[in-house]
């Protein structure tokens, strides 16, 4: 966040996430960033109140599968009921797909080279809710 890396709010993102939250979906943020940085960024993006939990310093991609498995056990969910959303295929999406979960890959280009069952590819989350 700064002059060289400006942050922009995604239109409709907060409203869509809050709708999912009100429907009883558990929203968990998993990031490699430090907790203090995450809090600052979420505040800037006006998303501080959206997530049920924040998993910081997650050591993705090396520990992603373990974190996802722990979430399945903790919330007693089958893999097909969990969706991993992210812009890094190797860190966030591939581990989820390997476990039988669904994935939403936010790709910079519409023509993604990835084609897997349970995978949705979008260029933005704007208008997805």
Please report, for the chain, the start and end positions of each structural domain, with discontinuous segments joined by +: 13-122
Mean pLDDT over each residue of the chain, to the nearest integer: 92
> Please, which residues have CB within 8 angstroms of residue 18's CB and are 6 or more apart in sequence?
50
Q: What digits encode the pLDDT tens for the residues 102-124?
A: 999 999 887 778 788 899 999 99
**Worst-scoring range by mean pLDDT, 30-34, 40-44, 63-67, 111-115?**
111-115
Residue 2 has pLDDT above 90, yes or no: no
Alpha carbons 47 and 61: distance in angstroms, whole number: 24
**Long-range contacts formed by 82-87: CB under 8 A, 24+ apart:** 85/125
Handedness of CA 92, 3, 10, 108 (dihedral sign): negative
Token pair recorded at residue 44: 């800037």
- Judging by DSSP bridges, how do beta strands 53-55 and 28-30 pair with one another? parallel
CATH architecture of 13-122: 3-Layer(aba) Sandwich (3.40)
Q: What digits encode the pLDDT tens for the residues 64-87?
A: 999 999 999 999 999 999 999 999
Token pair recorded at residue 99: 């476990």
Q: What is the mean pLDDT of residues 14-36?
A: 96
């Amino acid at each position: 966040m700064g002059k060289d890396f400006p942050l922009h709010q995604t239109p409709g993102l907060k409203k869509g996430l809050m709708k999912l939250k009100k429907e009883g979906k558990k929203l968990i943020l998993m990031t490699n960033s430090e907790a203090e940085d995450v809090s600052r960024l979420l505040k800037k993006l006006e998303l501080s109140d959206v997530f049920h939990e924040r998993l910081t310093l997650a050591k993705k991609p090396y520990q992603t599968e373990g974190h996802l498995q722990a979430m399945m056990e903790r919330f007693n969910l089958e893999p097909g009921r969990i969706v991993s959303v992210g812009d890094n295929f190797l860190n966030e999406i591939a581990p989820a797909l390997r476990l039988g979960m669904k994935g939403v890959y936010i790709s910079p280009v519409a023509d993604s080279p990835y084609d897997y069952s349970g995978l949705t590819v979008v260029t933005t989350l704007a208008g997805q809710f």
